[in-house]
């Protein structure tokens, strides 16, 4: 896949399944695809997830989504700094959180974050 801009690519595999968790995917600058779980609310409990890449997303009325920022909090990130980031994401218009749990290790999570931020700031 050619390099391009960061974009959401909706998954069809869970369409129509009543009990399936909402999922989607994001295509990074590199062309790599990242499957994520969709959290339709910005829940403060999300910042306590270890080993997650958190994608703050703004969903528009027409259904399109854009990345506000991406965080891959390391072990040194405090709960306070994570909550501060979450509050900042709300003020920047984030309406959903997308959670990627398939990256193994801090270095891989940071690589995912960089692939999805496309010049945006870094999370906690």
pLDDT of residue 123: 60
pTM of the full predicted structure? 0.86
Mean pLDDT over residues 85-111, rounded?
A: 95
Domain positions in the chain are: 7-117
pLDDT of residue 1: 46
* pLDDT tens-digit series, residues 10-39: 887 655 665 556 899 999 999 999 999 999
- DSSP 8-class letter at 12: S
* pLDDT tens-digit series, residues 31-78: 999 999 999 888 888 888 889 999 999 999 998 999 999 999 988 889
- Other CB atoms closer than 10 Å to residue 99's CB: what's the count? 15
> Which residues make Cβ contacts (< 8 Å) with residue 7, sequence separation at least 6?
26, 27
């Amino acid at each position: 896949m050619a390099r391009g801009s960061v974009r959401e690519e909706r998954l069809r595999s869970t369409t129509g399944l009543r009990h399936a968790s909402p999922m989607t995917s994001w295509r990074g600058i590199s062309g790599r695809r990242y499957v994520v779980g969709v959290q339709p609310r910005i829940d403060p409990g999300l910042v306590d997830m270890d080993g997650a890449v958190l994608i703050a997303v703004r969903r528009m009325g027409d259904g399109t989504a854009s990345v506000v920022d991406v965080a891959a909090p390391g072990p040194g990130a405090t709960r306070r700094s994570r909550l501060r980031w979450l509050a900042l994401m709300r003020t920047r218009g984030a309406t959903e959180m997308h959670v990627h749990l398939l990256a193994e290790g801090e270095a891989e999570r940071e690589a995912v974050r960089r692939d999805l931020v496309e010049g945006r700031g870094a999370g906690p």
